[in-house]
């Protein structure tokens, strides 16, 4: 059950004033036919590819391969991810300033970030030290490097797509190309470590990142942006002045934590609750993300009929109905878990596509299109990282305090693992759905999304 978001409200007079105030003559819209949107979306492949090792494989790898205690590991990940989250709004502001110069400047810094990301991932999975204190210091430094490079690429790439513009269907299609490529990247990353090993995984990632950056450089370019000359803090905090963004972010955070907890605990659940071998992991991960990729056209089609908000609400309800079943599983229930992976994977496609399309529409309605996409996506990335930090920093230590440890087969430990993996995320997802429904029913602007 991965991350997501929600809709927005706006004040039309402010939007009109902002456009008239600062925008020159409207440039020709970019060519958004499928070859161009595919070239844009290609970078989603390596960005999602690297997210699986960073956020799913790494905690399990350090706990089992190097024997790092769950509480220590949770503290390390919490600190690194909180730092990463806190700098994202500033990265978003820097992105807006680069877009005001030219898309070419954004591409140049993206190339440097891509090189640093490949270096950081290699350092994380192949540390030259094994002594605990030195290992933690090395991992902390490599995490910060990897997270910063990953964040810069992600924020710039998402802002690029939002700046391309379009109506709700067009925005959904642009995001669907990016997230579809991303899901292919996740499927690849889920198969390679088990089938061919970590060295092959890192090598494939580096090649894919280089090719995707080249495709990005050939993609349709958004019109040259503008940036209002106001104090830095005013630009940074501009999104939070919009009631719609605050509402959208509230739903996004609850939904994102609901997705981040299972991602952190997945491998522990497979090995200890289901008592299955590592050879089964690619089957579950691959089917989950493949189902999400195949389900993307369904959600894009439903948006044309139901709109963004109602379609996302339906996906949330489907996700809870399917995922709660996981709490009842026991040793050897691999067929039932595979079905859960497939059905919840279909729901994931909506989580990955619709919230980003809603945010892009919010930016347009607020009059900030072509001006502050980086600021919005910087805070968006901040919330996503905060969700992941809380999932690792809270779920792992709590499991340790409740009596669970990797390899545990006690009834108490396994019950704690099942509740944390399945029931807690469902409860949070229901809160997110209730908030989305509440805001939608009371907000005419949101009903137009």
The answer to whether residue 396 scores a pLDDT higher than 90 is no
7 domain-assigned = no
Band of the pLDDT at 15, cuts 50, 70, 90? Answer: very low
Classify 31 in phi/psi space as left (phi over 0), alpha (psi -120 to 50) or beta.
beta
Comparing 38-47, 99-108, 352-361, the range with the smallest average pLDDT is 352-361
Between 356 and 249, residue with greater pLDDT: 249
For residue range 335-355, what is the model confidence (pLDDT) as tens digits? Answer: 999 999 999 889 888 887 788
Identify the CA nearest to 152 among candidates 108, 99, 109, 212. 109
Comparing 135-144, 262-271, 383-392, the range with the smallest average pLDDT is 383-392
The answer to whether residue 324 scores a pLDDT higher than 70 is yes
Here the tokens at position 88 are 């994202």
pLDDT value at position 373? Answer: 63
29 domain-assigned = no
Classify 229 in phi/psi space as left (phi over 0), alpha (psi -120 to 50) or beta.
beta
pLDDT value at position 51? Answer: 81
Average pLDDT over residues 257-267: 83
For residue 370, the enclosing domain spans: 12-17+34-447
22 domain-assigned = no
The answer to whether residue 256 scores a pLDDT higher than 80 is yes
336 domain-assigned = yes
- In CATH, what number is assigned to the domain containing residue 57? 1.20.1250.20
pTM for this predicted structure: 0.66
CB-based contact 45:179 (threshold 8 Å): no
CB-based contact 51:2 (threshold 8 Å): no
Provide DSSP, 250-295: HHHHHHHHHHHHHHHHHHHIIIIIS---GGGHHHHHHHHHHHHHHH
Q: What's the number of domains the chain is made of?
A: 1
pLDDT value at position 384? Answer: 77
How far, in Å, are 138, 324, 400 from residue 420 at the CA level? 30, 11, 12
Band of the pLDDT at 92, cuts 50, 70, 90? Answer: confident
Band of the pLDDT at 449, cuts 50, 70, 90? Answer: low
23 domain-assigned = no
104 domain-assigned = yes
CB-based contact 185:47 (threshold 8 Å): yes
pLDDT value at position 443? Answer: 65
Q: How many residues does the chain have?
A: 449
For the ranges 87-91, 218-222, 319-323, the one whose mean pLDDT is highest: 319-323
């Amino acid at each position: 059950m991965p991350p997501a978001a929600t809709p927005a409200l706006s004040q039309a007079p402010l939007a009109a004033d902002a456009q008239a105030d600062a925008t020159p003559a409207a440039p020709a819209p970019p060519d958004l036919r499928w070859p161009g949107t595919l070239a844009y979306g290609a970078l989603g492949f390596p960005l999602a590819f690297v997210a699986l090792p960073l956020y799913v494989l790494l905690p399990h790898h350090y706990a089992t391969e190097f024997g790092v205690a769950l509480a220590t590991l949770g503290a390390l990940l919490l600190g690194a991810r909180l730092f990463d989250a806190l700098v994202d709004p500033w990265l978003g502001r820097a992105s807006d300033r680069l877009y005001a110069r030219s898309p070419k400047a954004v591409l140049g810094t993206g190339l440097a970030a891509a090189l640093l990301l490949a270096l950081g991932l290699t350092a994380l999975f192949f540390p030259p030290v094994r002594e605990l204190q030195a290992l933690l210091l090395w991992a902390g430094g490599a995490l910060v490097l990897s997270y910063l490079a990953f964040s810069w690429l992600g924020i710039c790439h998402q802002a690029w797509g939002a700046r391309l513009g379009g109506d709700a269907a067009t925005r959904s299609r642009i995001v669907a190309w990016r997230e579809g490529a991303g899901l292919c990247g996740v499927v690849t990353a889920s198969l390679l470590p088990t089938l061919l090993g970590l060295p092959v995984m890192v090598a494939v990632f580096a090649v894919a990142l280089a090719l995707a950056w080249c495709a990005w450089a050939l993609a349709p370019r958004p019109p040259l942006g503008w940036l209002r000359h106001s104090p830095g803090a005013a630009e940074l905090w501009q999104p939070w002045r919009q009631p719609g963004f605050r509402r959208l972010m509230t739903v996004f955070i609850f939904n994102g934590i609901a997705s981040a907890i299972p991602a952190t605990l997945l491998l522990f659940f497979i090995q200890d609750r289901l008592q299955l071998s590592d050879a089964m992991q690619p089957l579950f991960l691959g089917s989950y993300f493949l189902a999400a990729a195949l389900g993307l056209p369904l959600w894009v089609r439903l948006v044309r009929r139901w709109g963004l908000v109602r379609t996302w609400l339906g996906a949330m309800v489907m996700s809870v109905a399917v995922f709660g079943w996981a709490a009842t599983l026991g040793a050897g229930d691999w067929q039932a878990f595979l079905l859960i992976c497939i059905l919840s994977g279909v729901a994931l496609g909506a989580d990955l596509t619709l919230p980003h399309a809603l945010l892009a529409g919010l930016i347009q309605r607020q009059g900030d299109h072509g001006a502050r996409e980086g600021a919005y996506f910087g805070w968006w990335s901040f919330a996503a990282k905060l969700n992941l930090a809380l999932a690792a920093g809270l779920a792992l230590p709590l499991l340790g305090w409740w009596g669970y440890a990797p390899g545990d087969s006690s009834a108490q430990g396994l019950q704690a693992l099942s509740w944390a993996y399945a029931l807690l995320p469902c409860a949070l997802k229901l809160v997110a759905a209730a908030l989305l429904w509440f805001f939608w029913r009371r907000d005419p602007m949101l009903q137009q999304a």
